[in-house]
Amino acid sequence: MTASDAPLDLVRSQVDRAIREFLDRQRPIFADPHVAVLLAAAEDFLAGGKRLRPAFCHWGWRAAGGGDEPALHTAAASLELLQASALIHDDVMDASDVRRGMPSAHRRFERMHLESGWHGSAKQFGEGTAVLLGNLLLVWSGEMWRTSGLAPEAMAAAQPVHDDMLTELMCGQYLDLLEQARGDSTFDSALRVALFKSGKYSVERPLRLGLVLAARAQPAWIDRLCVQYGQQVGIAFQLRDDILGVFGDPAETGKPAGDDLREGKRTMLIARTLAAASPSQAEAVRDLLGDPALDAEGVQRLRTVIEETGALTACEDMIKRYLDDALHALEQAPIEQSARTALAALAVAATTRRT
């Protein structure tokens, strides 16, 4: 991200501080050096991350008239712990080795087991510990959210949104596993996954949380902004994610090239590829997609098919259309100008990013 990073940068230092303070509060429980490794792993993981969800929450709060409020930064930052939990569990489920350019959490603990010469399966130890680390971040995210210090009336208004977000997140991740297993590649199913997995959880819910925390209600304009801006940006965000999962530069994404192809992810990019593929192109997709041993040549072959069928261009066009619609909806919203400018920049940043 470049010029449009400003609304993220403004939030980053506040979020970082809030995370540091929260982890410091947990430190006494981790005095035992045996369990201290869990806290250290959480700290290392949380040092990375784009702070995108906290930024949508922050600018939602501002859009609904919220002022400069440290408690809001804490509440918003809790979304970064939730995202860390989801990624750590995701990597276990997908058997991904690399995250943010570093070994994934289960690989980190697997290596600890191997280097210590311990008993039993290092792989099982790594995965089990990563599940527990993800659980820890999940419950901490809830604790941090609840103890932010925001007014009880604000929390009471936003809590149902937060509760639904968590249930939807687990359902969205399950739908993702399911589509992969079923090998479904319809536009409808791909869009449903994009909306549930990311559209709601990554953009719409964080934005709505910020709006509702400040407004302490959900008037029609908030709901409209959440659906017409939030969900549209969210889907475009996920479509960008899908493209980066195939065409992204590992130096920027922190993940191996073509990782999504190896995992056989059923994205809109794949649905559009198959819809427009010639018999030989369709055969290449069937043969190569989801092959855990897919090499650089296979990745390149699939990339070529995806480009030649026009699927890449079609998805880029979709992103542009969702973004335009979102920006149009943003124009109509009765919010203050600085928040409008920031949310516009954030929408661009979230959907044109390279990382």
State the helix-helix crossing angle for 268-276 and 232-247, rounded to 10 degrees: 70
Residues in contact with its own copies, shown as a per-residue x/- string from 237 to 276 under the rule CB under 8 A: ---------------------------x------------
C-alpha 145: how far from its chain's center?
A: 18
* 40 makes contact with its own copies (CB under 8 A): no
* 129 makes contact with its own copies (CB under 8 A): yes
Report d(CA 234, CA 168) in Å as an integer: 14
Residues 126 and 88: beta-carbon distance below 8 Å: no
Nearest C-alpha neighbor of 4 from the set 237, 333, 353: 353
Q: Between 283 and 331, name the residue whose CB sits nearer to its own copies.
A: 283
The one segment of 15-23, 117-125, 215-223, 240-248 that binds its own copies by CB under 8 A: 117-125
Q: Where are the alpha helices (DSSP H) in 183-231?
A: 187-193, 205-215, 220-225
Q: Between 34 and 68, name the residue whose CB sits nearer to its own copies.
A: 34
Element holding 321 (H helix, E strand): helix 311-332
Q: Between 124 and 300, name the residue whose CB sits nearer to its own copies.
A: 124
* 70 makes contact with its own copies (CB under 8 A): no
Within 282-301, which residues bind its own copies (CB under 8 A)? 290
* 71 makes contact with its own copies (CB under 8 A): no
Q: Between 184 and 307, name the residue whose CB sits nearer to its own copies.
A: 184
Within 143-182, which residues bind its own copies (CB under 8 A)? 143, 146-147, 152, 159, 163-164, 166-168, 170-171, 173-175, 177-178, 180-182
**Strand extents, DSSP E, the chain:** 98-99, 102-103
The one segment of 12-20, 120-128, 274-282, 347-355 that binds its own copies by CB under 8 A: 120-128
Question: How many residues interact with its own copies (rule CB under 8 A)?
Answer: 55
* 43 makes contact with its own copies (CB under 8 A): no
Report d(CA 62, CA 342) in Å as an integer: 10
Q: 215 is written with which tokens?
A: 């407004």
* 116 makes contact with its own copies (CB under 8 A): yes
Half-sphere exposure of 66 (CA within 13 A, CB side): 28
Q: Between 178 and 217, name the residue whose CB sits nearer to its own copies.
A: 178
Q: How many helices (H) and strands (E) does the chain have?
A: 18, 2
Element holding 73 (H helix, E strand): helix 70-94
Least Å from the CB of residue 147 to its own copies: 8
Q: Between 128 and 310, name the residue whose CB sits nearer to its own copies.
A: 128
Least Å from the CB of residue 290 to its own copies: 6
Residues in contact with its own copies, shown as a per-residue x/- string from 192 to 221 under the rule CB under 8 A: ------------------------------
Least Å from the CB of residue 258 to its own copies: 17
Helix (H, G, I), strand (E, B) or coil at 286: helix
CA distances from 176 to 148, 263, 268 (A): 32, 11, 12
* 92 makes contact with its own copies (CB under 8 A): yes
State the helix-helix crossing angle for 311-332 and 232-247, rounded to 10 degrees: 150
Nearest C-alpha neighbor of 108 from the set 91, 134, 126: 126
CA distances from 240 to 76, 275, 312 (A): 23, 19, 10
In this chain, which of 47, 139, 227, 296 binds its own copies, going by CB under 8 A? 139
* Integer Rg of the chain from CA: 21
| Interacting residues toward its own copies by CB under 8 A | 26, 29-30, 32, 34-35, 38, 89, 92-95, 113, 116, 118-120, 124-125, 127-129, 131-136, 138-140, 142-143, 146-147, 152, 159, 163-164, 166-168, 170-171, 173-175, 177-178, 180-183, 264, 290
